[in-house]
Amino acid sequence: MGIFWDLLQQEELDKQQAQADSVEDRVAILETELENTKALLRKTLEALETHLNKDIDGDGVAG
């Protein structure tokens, strides 16, 4: 029975490692998406400030 128990434990460890790897991959993808979203938001805000000629984000500069 010992070998079967070892196999079950190893299978569970492999499963948990695969889940951890997929979580790490997903976090990396989400971090990249967040960076891209922030850059797009910044460009949109700058365009809006330029269009309205008004400081919206409070940095003292319109545009």
pTM recorded for the entire structure:
0.64
Q: Is the pLDDT of residue 63 over 80?
A: no
Dihedral of CA atoms 47, 53, 54, 58 in degrees, nearest 10, equals 60
Distance CA 38, CA 53 (A): 22
Distance CA 49, CA 47 (A): 5
pLDDT digits (tens, 9 = 90+) for 27-51: 999 999 999 999 999 999 999 999 9
Angle at 24 between CA 18 and CA 6, to 5 degrees: 25
